[in-house]
Amino acid sequence: MPRWGMAADLDRCNGCGACVVACHAENNISTVGAGEAARGRAKHWIRVERYWEGDFPDVRVKFRPVLCQHCDNAPCEPVCPTYASHHTEDGLNAQVYNRCIGTRYCANACPYNARFFDFFNPSWDKPLHLQLNPDVSLRMVGVVEKCTFCVQRINAARVQAKAEGRGVRDGEIQPACAQSCPSRALVFGDLDDPESEVSRLSRSPRGSKLLEDTGARPKVTYLARQA
């Protein structure tokens, strides 16, 4: 079984936000509009955080794309009373929407603020709905949704590989964020394959995990900006 993970090279990431919109397009994430966004209800499975350092004129900014870290020891999983939030065999931190009863314990437990509650049924002003991706289920009111590492693409690649009688090749699966990223900051793959690019990057001396001391054992490695 593979163990899916990601490496985010912060020396390549320039904060452009292509990943954010690519994720909306791939995963049928509805926009909530200005009023609801003002109440903190906007949903972005991946976001670009920025950290300001120093005062004018000696100012620096560091960007960091943050998405579900698909923790090996995920704090969101044990708190779920219905096993909606659970771990798959290939290491994904999955959310089964039709088990979810909306307690939002998982969203509270997540140290990364990566889980989003649906306060409403999603809606698209017609005909914007024609764009919806039929491979991704819509989330109805009262459930928590989150990054899936584009599980629909993982499954499609696995089915394809099986039909061709081979294993999934490294780089064959690209989540929408990584695929769109112009500067190639995001790399996805199998962490259990020591030859995969994501494994190689995850072993980089520049690498670290986000909020490692929570003990969540996240599977996204951030490669620090040099200099």
Partner 1 sequence: MDRRSFIKLTAVTGASAALASCGNPENQLIRFVPDEDIVPGIAVWKPGVCPLCAAGCGLTVRVMDADAEVVRNGQLGIVRIAAAKKLEGAPNHPVNRGGLCARGQAAIQITYHPDRITQPLKRAGERGDGRYEAISWDDALGEVVSRLDALEAAGTQRALAFLSRGGAGHRAALIEQFLARFGAPPPLVYELFGDEVLRRANAVSFGREQLPTLDLANARFVLSFGADFLGTWNSPVAQSVAYGAMRQGRPGIRGGFVQVESRMSQTGANADEWIPARPGTEGVLALGLAHVIVAAGLRPASAASRAGALIDGWSDGLQGYAPEQVEKITGVAAARVDRLGRQFAEMRPSVAIVAGPPLAHTNGFFTAVAVNALNALVGNIEQPGGVFFTPQLDLAAALKMKTPVAGAPAPPFRLQPEGDEDDPHIGDAQVLFVDGANPVFTAPRLWRIEQALAKAPYIVSFGSFLDETAVRADLILPDHSFLEAWSGAVPESGATVAVASVAPPVMRPLYQTRATPDVLLDIGRRLRRPLNLPWQTFEEMLAAAFAALPSATRDVDAWTDAQGKGMWSGTLPAGLGRAASLPAPPAARPLAYEAPSFDGDAGEYPFHFLPYPSTTFLDGSLAHLPWLQEMPDPLTSAMWSSWVEINPATAERLGIGQGDVVEIASAHGSVRAAAILTPGIAPDMVAMPAGQGHRTFTRYASGRGSNPVEVIAPVTEPATGALAWAATRVRVTRVGPPDGSLILFAGGMREHPEEHR
Q: Which residue is associated with the tokens 């943050």?
A: 66
Q: Name, in order, each residue with C-beta under 8 angstroms of 104's C-beta and a sequence gap of 6 or more.
A: 115, 117, 144
Cα(156)–Cα(173) distance, integer angstroms: 9
User: By CB under 8 A, how many residues form the interface with partner 1?
Assistant: 61
Task: Tell me whether residue 12 or residue 158 sits nearer to partner 1 (CB atom).
Answer: 12
CB of 10 to partner 1, least distance (A): 10
Cβ count near 135 (within 10 Å): 14
Q: Are the C-beta atoms of 103 and 78 separated by less than 8 Å? A: no
Which secondary-structure segment (H or E) carries 109? helix 105-109
Cα(32)–Cα(211) distance, integer angstroms: 29
From 74-82, 138-146, 183-191, 213-221, span contacting partner 1 (CB under 8 A):
183-191
Q: Does 185 bind partner 1 (CB under 8 A)?
A: yes
Task: Tell me whether residue 89 or residue 125 sits nearer to partner 1 (CB atom).
Answer: 125
Q: Does 48 bind partner 1 (CB under 8 A)?
A: yes
Say if residue 111 is exposed, middle or buried (CB neighbours under 10 Å; 0-12, 13-18, 19+).
middle
Q: Tell me the two tokens of residue 12.
A: 């390549």
Task: Tell me whether residue 42 or residue 161 sits nearer to partner 1 (CB atom).
Answer: 42
CA–CA distances in Å: residue 127 to residues 95, 120, 124: 28, 19, 7
**Per CB under 8 A, which of residues 52..81 are in contact with partner 1?**
52, 54-57, 59-61, 63
Q: Among 94, 132, 157, 161, indicate the residue that binds partner 1 (CB under 8 A).
A: 132
CB of 91 to partner 1, least distance (A): 25
Q: Does 194 bind partner 1 (CB under 8 A)?
A: no
Q: Does 164 bind partner 1 (CB under 8 A)?
A: no
Task: Tell me whether residue 127 or residue 165 sits nearer to partner 1 (CB atom).
Answer: 127
Q: Which stretches of the chain bind partner 1, using CB under 8 A?
A: 9, 11-12, 14-18, 20-22, 24-26, 31-34, 37-42, 44, 47-50, 52, 54-57, 59-61, 63, 107, 113, 125-134, 176, 179-185, 223, 226-227
